[in-house]
Amino acid sequence: MTPAASTGSPLTGQYLLVTGNYWAFTLTDGALRMLVLLHFHELGYTPLQVAMLFLFYEVFGVITNLVGGWLGARLGLNRTMNLGLFLQICALAMLAVPAVLLTVPWVMAAQAVSGIAKDLNKMSAKGSLKLLVPGDQQVRLYRWVAVLTGSKNALKGVGFFLGALLLAALGFDGAVLAMAAVLAAVWIGSLVFLKADLGKAKAKPKFRELLSKSPAINRLSAARLFLFGARDVWFVVALPVFLADRLGWSHPQIGGFLALWIIGYGFVQAAAPALTGLRRGPVPDGRTALRWALPLCVLTAGIALALGTGWPAQTVLIGGLLGFGVLFALNSALHSYLIISYAREDGVSLDVGFYYMANAMGRLLGTVLSGAIYQAHGLAACLWTSAGLVALAAGVSRSLPRHAPQT
């Protein structure tokens, strides 16, 4: 840890710029997902076809996290951040074409570009934290990670609502053009003011160093894969389509509800240090991750059972989503802290990139299963699958280190 990182100013100022960029990007990312989902469902696409529109978004997220960590270590996290902003502008511009050109392959290609952009931004922002908090200040690190992660997800929820609102007010083309214009202004400001080579490794890492050699990071990455597969297998496609088709909700209602859920989820993540008992005990470790995964598994199975036995669907989903959101947010925040704690300081983006590659693989798995299982068997089956994936995450968490390693 350099003195600059410990005392504050130059690196902290750069990190604030990175965080602001990340927040601006997150708004467009959440809005774009809701725009694409609602617009193409309205055009008559089946749930599986809608899921396929996001396939390349997740596939290229896997690749980007793996290669992006290597690029961040060689070039600096500021450059990967600016590249992500530029690519998101390109993705939005690709969708501002006449409706006849909005074919499935074209939309999948635009989503691929957006997926690359998103994971470059995430890796850049989260990797920066390792360099700003001394290794002996794990409590402070946990709080900083929780605030960054929670604020990002709250803004993503605002993006969901924004996407539904822009679709109703400006139409699909107008919405993507408006977002591209705002993000272009943010990108220009970032090129001017974001200068430090934050996160650039002292030694140029070899390409063969992409895969993690740390057992702790490998196990945590596997747990993350199952955890996010469990969320997206029912939340990404199945839930919005169910709300529209079976419960008759309008687009603004769906967008607003999911937005409020994500915003609340973000606030819970930001409060995770207090909610997980940080003031009463030591910083989290593998035992903590296991302890919070088990109730999430039980709750998800309970929601599935209630739906399958004929309980009022709207009551079950609203109540179940509230509980799921709280428990999932705490699990996610714990994992986000553990990866930053476990990661190496020199070349931190390599470890963080590998971990978020597993995160993207989980989203990919969940997205595809969400459309396929819902189309074939319905929402209850998606929830049973979710419970099974959480159980796998809990099983892997048993082998995580009991005490977070200190730098």
Domain ranges of the chain: 3-200+212-397
Q: How confident is the model at residue 383 (pLDDT cuts 50, 70, 90)?
A: very high
Predicted pLDDT of residue 3: 36
Q: What is the mean pLDDT of the chain?
A: 80
Q: Please report, as a single letter, which amino acid is at residue 70.
A: W
Considering 23-27, 121-125, 129-133, the range whose residues carry the highest mean pLDDT is 23-27
pTM as predicted = 0.73
Cβ count within 10 A of residue 98: 7
**Which range has the worst mean pLDDT, 265-279, 361-375, 377-391?**
265-279
CA distances from 232 to 275, 340, 361 (A): 24, 23, 11
What's the chain's length in residues?
407
Q: Please report, as a single letter, which amino acid is at residue 82.
A: N
Write 342-345 long-range contacts (CB < 8 A, 24+). Answer: 342/214, 342/216, 342/217, 342/220, 342/401, 342/404, 342/405, 343/127, 343/130, 343/217, 345/1, 345/130, 345/131, 345/135, 345/407
Predicted pLDDT of residue 267: 87
Predicted pLDDT of residue 151: 79
State the average pLDDT over residues 202-209.
Answer: 57
365 close to 93: Cβ distance less than 8 angstroms: no
Q: How confident is the model at residue 209 (pLDDT cuts 50, 70, 90)?
A: low
Cβ count within 10 A of residue 298: 12
Predicted pLDDT of residue 4: 40
Considering 25-34, 226-235, 252-261, 266-275, the range whose residues carry the highest mean pLDDT is 226-235
State the burial class of residue 313 (Cβ atoms within 10 Å of its Cβ: 0-12, 13-18, 19+).
Answer: middle
- The CATH code belonging to domain 3-200+212-397 is 1.20.1250.20
Predicted pLDDT of residue 199: 55
**Which range has the worst mean pLDDT, 22-36, 89-103, 210-224?**
210-224
Predicted pLDDT of residue 403: 62
Cα–Cα distance, 154 to 266 (Å, whole number): 4
Q: To which residue do tokens 């929601």 refer?
A: 303
Cα–Cα distance, 214 to 202 (Å, whole number): 20
Higher per-residue pLDDT: 96 or 7? 96
Predicted pLDDT of residue 111: 87
State the average pLDDT over residues 30-47.
Answer: 82
* pLDDT higher than 70, residue 345: no
CA nearest neighbour of 337 among 262, 280, 400: 400
State the average pLDDT over residues 114-125.
Answer: 83
Q: How confident is the model at residue 5 (pLDDT cuts 50, 70, 90)?
A: very low
CA nearest neighbour of 80 among 95, 62, 65: 65
pLDDT in tens, 280-296: 667 777 788 888 999 99
